[in-house]
Chain A
Amino acid sequence: DGGITQSPKYLFRKEGQNVTLSCEQNLNHDAMYWYRQDPGQGLRLIYYSQIVNDFQKGDIAEGYSVSREKKESFPLTVTSAQKNPTAFYLCASRLHSGNTIYFGEGSWLTVV
Chain B
Amino acid sequence: DQQVKQNSPSLSVQEGRISILNCDYTNSMFDYFLWYKKYPAEGPTFLISISSIKDKNEDGRFTVFLNKSAKHLSLHIVPSQPGDSAVYFCAASAGGSNYKLTFGKGTLLTVNP
Residues of A whose CB lies within 8 Å of any CB of B are 4, 6, 31, 33, 35, 40-45, 48, 50, 56, 58, 88, 90, 92, 94, 99-106, 108
20 residue pairs bridging A and B, Cβ less than 8 Å apart: A6-B43, A31-B99, A33-B101, A35-B103, A40-B9, A40-B105, A42-B89, A44-B103, A45-B101, A45-B102, A48-B100, A50-B97, A90-B43, A90-B44, A99-B34, A99-B51, A103-B45, A104-B43, A105-B43, A108-B41
Taking CB atoms and an 8 Å cut-off, the chain B residues in 86-100 that contact chain A are: 89, 91, 93, 95, 97-100
Residues of B whose CB lies within 8 Å of any CB of A are 6, 9, 32, 34, 36, 41-46, 49, 51, 89, 91, 93, 95, 97-106
- Give the CA-CA distance A48 to B97 in the complex, in Å: 12
Most B-side CB within 10 Å, residue of A41, A42, A56: A42
Neighbour of A43 across the interface among B51, B95, B97, B103, CB < 8 A = B103
